[in-house]
Amino acid sequence: MLAQITLISRFGEIIQRTILLIVLLLGFAPRESTAQSISSEPVTTATGATPNSGPNHLPSATSARNKDISQTSKSKAKYDISRIGDRGIGHGLDFYSAEQERQLGEELANAIESSSRLIADPVVNEYLNRLGLNIVQNSDCKIPFVIKALDDDDLNAFALPGGFLYINRGLILAADNEAELVAAMAHEVGHVAARHGTKNATRAQIFDAASMSLILVGGPVGLAVRGLAGLARPMTYMKFSRDAEREADLLGLEYQYTAGYDPQEFIAFFETMGAGETQKRSLINKAFATHPMTVDRIKLAQQEIATYLPDRAEYIIDTSEFQEIKARLSSGEGRLPKLRRPLNDVR
């Protein structure tokens, strides 16, 4: 019996690897994101032909120089704020088209809103969407955003694939100024621009495809993998890796800066977020709050500011409108009453 299980397990591993190769090479080729890579366009010569055109093409100093320039541009693209929107941000293994990304985001947004209380104040929501529009227009994102405030006192914000951004009431009230709120929002826009959500979903699909091979031939072994896959799938949408968080930090800094805000407030606010980590969290906060600003991340952010973001004479730090929004939220404006079940439903 043990020998049979071992044989089945090895056979399952072979099929797993085969399916992964098929997934990566044939059936599920990674989709191009809407942002285009800087080095993907052919270099055109003065005659209108590309350096590689013609049957008797030979390498030349010009083509070699162009190749070096292309490689250098690609390596520095992430930090070139003058090319925001045309830097290839978001490329990588991703099965989702823009339309599918939006559909996934809508499904997750419906799930969030069905179990959460939204702030119904139109003044607050209009302000947040106007603020977000400025950030998105100064980012690598090519999709419209929908931004809503949640009636939750925890310090948290999160973005779903397709441009659905939620900000907790507690986070807005914790921000000392508008630049700090923009910092949190810009970080979330960075996640969407880099397509972290759909990349997580893609990895989940690969994992499920591989585990299905074991289910088909693996008996109890396959069923165990299937159970793990089912448990892991929702978390892949909700949790980002450390590398993804760092990328969102750097992109968020750039977007905040290009939108006109002081990038130092980015660091200040995420220090506040870290101090709030000990607060009691709601279910949503437990699922989505992955943004404690560690010492290493703060150092990286400071290096990014010093190296790539030239100091400006003026920045936006605060506005009277932001303070008015905080006052409205503090007074309970737009808060919906909690839903209570009728007495005859209580058991």
Instruction: Output the pLDDT for position 238.
Output: 56
Closest CA to 130 of 298, 325, 278: 325
Domain membership flag for residue 31:
no
Q: Which domain holds residue 281?
A: 98-194+240-333
Domain membership flag for residue 10:
no
Domain membership flag for residue 154:
yes
pLDDT in tens, the chain (347 residues): 545 544 545 555 555 555 444 444 434 444 444 333 333 333 333 333 333 444 444 344 445 445 444 444 444 556 689 999 989 888 887 788 888 889 888 988 998 899 899 999 999 999 999 999 999 999 999 899 999 999 999 989 999 999 999 999 999 999 999 999 999 999 999 999 988 888 888 877 776 655 444 434 443 333 333 343 433 333 445 578 888 899 999 999 999 999 999 999 999 987 777 665 544 444 444 444 444 557 788 889 999 999 999 999 999 999 999 999 999 999 986 676 654 444 344 33
Instruction: Output the pLDDT for position 182.
Output: 98
Number of domains making up the chain: 1
pTM (predicted TM-score): 0.68
Domain membership flag for residue 314:
yes
Domain membership flag for residue 279:
yes
Domain membership flag for residue 147:
yes
Instruction: Output the pLDDT for position 207.
Output: 67
Per-residue model confidence as pLDDT tens digits over 312-333: 999 999 999 999 999 999 998 6
Per-residue model confidence as pLDDT tens digits over 133-182: 999 999 999 899 999 999 999 989 999 999 999 999 999 999 999 999 99
Total residues belonging to the chain: 347
